[in-house]
Amino acid sequence: MKSTVIIYVISDAIGETAQHLIRASTAQFTLEGGADIRRHAFVRDEEALLEILEEARKADAIIVQTLVQKRLGSISSDYCAQHGMPCIDLVSNLTAAIEQKTGQQSKEDPGNMRRLDQHYFDRIAAIEFAVKYDDCKDPRGLLEADIVLIGISRTSKTPLSSYLANQNYKVANVPLVPEVPIPTELTQIPRNRIIGLTNSPEKLSAIRKVRLKSIGLDETSSYSSENRILEELNYGYRIFKQLGCRIIQVEDKAIEETAALIIEKVK
């Protein structure tokens, strides 16, 4: 029984969609050697495609393709069928279904999804916003934010801000520290735009110890002590109650999962 799989991603664009789906699927298996994902992007001619397919055949690999150009998709599918290679086509069936429903023909333009449109520029602006107003560097940004994340140290405020920015949300975040009063701007925002983030004392202690070690400080610092963490958590809950905001427990949640919950609550 194989404990390692080799998967070739063949795309005439970037190929990141296929890579995300592969990771979701391989996460359901115990693969001792992991999944060896070999991504080949911007494959737009037959010669290059056949070279990759031959290489994949020798590696005994699975093919996952996102080729919007039907000719290349057919070449790849036929090659795999001829050589008994598993081939998963993530594009052709859906494209054919849409063509049938709409009566239109696919443009077969690999770069069409990534044109520099307004959505793209809005995302860049949201990313710049998240960087500018991270850790409440300028509290005035709280008034402009779509979402404001608040919580004590190590509750994933910054990574969540970055992830949500990539979803086109302008996000600011505020660290809650008992010795530091919250900015007045925080009390001027509609409470549905504020999300309180929290974590368990045990998880916070473990994360903070790792953080201290990574920057060369003593792991037994008060920053990671049980008493200090409980003090901060209690303070955080008092602020959450004062603001009347929704609360999300981030323990053991992936960033994507927490982000989805935030978007749901804000909407």
Q: Quick: pLDDT tens for 180-225.
A: 999 999 999 999 999 999 999 999 999 999 989 888 888 888 999 9
Residue recorded with tokens 């404001």: 148
Domain C-terminal end among 59, 79, 108: 108
Inter-residue contact 194 to 148 (CB < 8 Å): yes
Q: Is the pLDDT of residue 111 over 90?
A: no
What is the reported pLDDT for 113? 65
Q: Whose CA is closest to 223, among 246, 206, 237, 239?
A: 206
Q: How far is CA 118 from the centre of its chain?
A: 21
Instruction: Say if residue 97 is in the same domain as residue 195.
Output: no
Choose among 29, 90, 96: nearest CA to 63: 90
Q: Is 155 annotated as a binding residue?
A: yes
Residue that finishes a domain, picked among 73, 108, 143 = 108
My answer on whether 61 and 123 are in the same domain is no
pLDDT at 230: 97
User: What pLDDT is stored for residue 168 in this prediction?
Assistant: 94
pLDDT, position 233 = 98
Rounded to the nearest 10°, the torsion over CA 179, 137, 207, 201 is 40
Task: Classify residue 132: in a domain, yes or no.
Answer: yes
Confidence of residue 2 (pLDDT cuts 50, 70, 90): low
Give the residue-averaged pLDDT of 141-158: 97
Q: How far apart are CA 62 and CA 85, in angstroms?
A: 7
Checking if the pLDDT of 3 tops 70, the result is no
* Distance separating alpha carbons of residues 247 and 219, to the nearest angstrom: 29
Same-domain pairing of 92 and 166: no
Q: What is the mean pLDDT of residues 106-123?
A: 78
Token representation of residue 6:
């080799």
- Residue 34's domain spans which residues? 5-108
The answer to the question of residue 224 being in a domain is yes
- Give percent of the chain above pLDDT 70: 97
Element (H, E) at 81: helix 70-82
Report whether 77 belongs to an annotated binding site: no
**126 and 10 housed in the same domain:** no
Model pLDDT for residues 232-244, shown as the tens digit of each residue: 999 999 999 999 9
Q: Note the pLDDT of residue 14.
A: 86
Are 147 and 250 contained in the same domain? yes
180 with 248, same domain: the answer is yes
Claim to verify: residue 12 and residue 63 sit in the same structural domain: yes
Q: What is the pLDDT of residue 267?
A: 84
At which of 84, 108, 132 does a domain end? 108
Say whether 153 counts as a known binding-site residue. yes
Are 230 and 132 within one domain?
A: yes
Q: Note whether residue 33 is domain-resident.
A: yes
Do the domain assignments include residue 230?
Answer: yes
What's the domain count of the chain? 2
Q: Is residue 69 part of a domain?
A: yes
pLDDT of residue 114: 61
**Would you say 215 is a known binding-site residue?**
no
Do both 185 and 69 map to the same domain? no
Q: How many CB atoms lie within 10 A of CB 75?
A: 16
Confidence of residue 117 (pLDDT cuts 50, 70, 90): low
In a domain, 123, yes or no: yes
pTM exceeds cut of 0.75: no
With 90 as the cut, is the pLDDT of residue 109 above it? no
Q: Are residues 96 and 133 in the same domain?
A: no
For residues 258 and 133, state if they share a domain: yes
Residue 159 lies in a domain: yes
Residue 113 placed within a domain? no
Q: Which pLDDT score, from 0 to 100, does residue 1 have?
A: 55
What's the CATH number where 51 sits? 3.40.50
Residues 6+ apart with CB under 8 A from 221: 212
Same domain, 92 and 29: yes
